[in-house]
Amino acid sequence: DLIDGTDLRELGEAVGMDLYNGRIEIVCEETLPVGDPERVLVDAVEDVENAPSRGDLPDPDVDVHYKPIVDVQAFTRSTFETSVGVIHRIDRRDHVVIEADRSGPRLAPGGLVDLVGVEPISLIEAQATFGGGAERFGQSESAYREWAKTALCDRLATTVSYTGDNNVDYTQECRPSPGDVDLRSVEPLYVPRIEAEVELGEYTHGYEYDAAGNRHVVRDDGIRRCVHCETAGADAATYTYCENCGAISCETHTKTERLTGEPVCTGCAVTEDFLLATKHFFDEENAATFREEYEAMPPHQKAMENPYLTAGAAAVLLVVLFVAAAALI
């Protein structure tokens, strides 16, 4: 930890040793571009119903970290044959991205593959503009090559069913070996991990993503997420911003403020029953104002505060009248 791959290479050059192909730490000086974190956050907020306009949003807090990845393009060719002939064949190209921090190598989410097609920029220049530290690679390039081959073999493994010479059905696992994998390119790179937060009322809403200029892959969407339950992303049709407290809520936890007709979340709303129907208000003052309006309403308007109860009562009354009329006949 006291000396990194760059220092080792500089020492090697000073004494005439070529360490660039050895098993020392990967040195990378390029990163995908950071892009415009503020615009990305604002675009996410605009997906929320009743959200503040761009001009009314406070400045977000943005942190940038540069995460090490290894971009791998490989070609795998393998044939599996039994006494009945070829039962399976692999002949394909794969493009995978390995997350290469010190937590250990792992395949990155599929969306990250699309990001690495963006032209990289200088890591030093990106840090000069946006700040942020770069995490060191956890293993050597040779280790990532070996890991990538094993991971691809696991990924391409499949079980094949076939009928033998004796008309008996068999199954066989077909897994290519590391020798069947030809790594066409193995490129280290940094990807900016953006953590952006905006404070709205009583709540702070965060948005974490991997960036590549105008493209990004979401890691954690704290904007399109209900603060009152676990509903997030596509689990709800819409999310709505509550001006009263700053919450973003799903449809279940969003109501209509009875006095103003604006959205209000169940977390901050003051409730009161009118004709057995629960009404929601921004505060006690609004509830009191509507209470006065309700007292001044004629009976037919009061009845509309609970249309379901009114409709049910009307239906019962019609049934009673119908039965009474039938009895007279």
| Residue that is last in its domain, among 172, 201, 221 | 221
Question: Would you state the pLDDT for residue 309?
Answer: 41
Question: Would you state the pLDDT for residue 110?
Answer: 82
Instruction: Report the percent of the chain where pLDDT is more than 90.
Output: 68
Shared-domain flag, residues 211 and 256: no
Shared-domain flag, residues 92 and 216: yes
> Is 169 in a helix, a strand, or coil?
strand
Shared-domain flag, residues 215 and 185: yes
The answer, yes or no, to whether residue 218 has pLDDT greater than 70, is yes
Question: Would you state the pLDDT for residue 109?
Answer: 87
| Residue that is last in its domain, among 187, 221, 255 | 221
> Is 11 in a helix, a strand, or coil?
helix
Which alpha helices (H) appear in 37-119, and where do they start and end? 37-46, 111-115
- Lowest average pLDDT, out of 144-158, 191-205, 226-240, goes to 226-240
pLDDT digits (tens, 9 = 90+) for 86-122: 999 999 999 999 999 999 899 998 889 999 999 999 9
Burial class (CB in 10 A: 0-12, 13-18, 19+), 76: buried
- Lowest average pLDDT, out of 14-23, 46-55, 80-89, 318-327, goes to 318-327
Asked if residue 75 belongs to a domain, the reply is yes
Question: Would you state the pLDDT for residue 325?
Answer: 56
The stretch 301-325 carries a mean pLDDT of 52
Query: At 303, is the pLDDT very low, low, confident or very high (cuts 50, 70, 90)?
Result: low
Shared-domain flag, residues 176 and 107: yes
> Is 63 in a helix, a strand, or coil?
strand
Asked if residue 165 belongs to a domain, the reply is yes
Question: Would you state the pLDDT for residue 317?
Answer: 44
Asked if residue 119 belongs to a domain, the reply is yes
The answer, yes or no, to whether residue 20 has pLDDT greater than 60, is no
Question: Would you state the pLDDT for residue 312?
Answer: 45
Question: Would you state the pLDDT for residue 313?
Answer: 42
Asked if residue 286 belongs to a domain, the reply is yes
The stretch 205-223 carries a mean pLDDT of 95
Asked if residue 328 belongs to a domain, the reply is no
Number of domains in the chain: 2
Query: At 314, is the pLDDT very low, low, confident or very high (cuts 50, 70, 90)?
Result: very low
Whole-angstrom distance, CA of residue 3 vs CA of residue 106: 25
Whole-angstrom distance, CA of residue 233 vs CA of residue 220: 10
Query: Nearest-CA neighbor of 59 among 197, 195, 192, 243?
Result: 197
pLDDT digits (tens, 9 = 90+) for 257-284: 989 999 999 999 999 887 667 899 999 9
Cross-strand partners of 225: 232
Instruction: Report the percent of the chain where pLDDT is more than 70.
Output: 82
Query: At 201, is the pLDDT very low, low, confident or very high (cuts 50, 70, 90)?
Result: very high
Question: Would you state the pLDDT for residue 310?
Answer: 46
Domain around 112: 5-221
> Is 323 in a helix, a strand, or coil?
helix
Shared-domain flag, residues 131 and 267: no
- 266 φ, ψ to 5°? -70, -15
| Residue that is last in its domain, among 221, 250, 266 | 221
Whole-angstrom distance, CA of residue 57 vs CA of residue 243: 12
Question: Would you state the pLDDT for residue 123?
Answer: 97
Contact status, residue 129 vs residue 120, Cβ threshold 8 Å: no
Shared-domain flag, residues 155 and 81: yes
Query: At 21, is the pLDDT very low, low, confident or very high (cuts 50, 70, 90)?
Result: low
Q: Which two tokens stand for residue 133?
A: 């530290």
Q: Which two tokens stand for residue 222?
A: 């704290």
Contact status, residue 78 vs residue 89, Cβ threshold 8 Å: yes
- 259 φ, ψ to 5°? -80, -40
pTM of the model: 0.80
Shared-domain flag, residues 43 and 128: yes
pLDDT digits (tens, 9 = 90+) for 179-190: 999 999 999 999
Query: At 160, is the pLDDT very low, low, confident or very high (cuts 50, 70, 90)?
Result: very high
Asked if residue 326 belongs to a domain, the reply is no
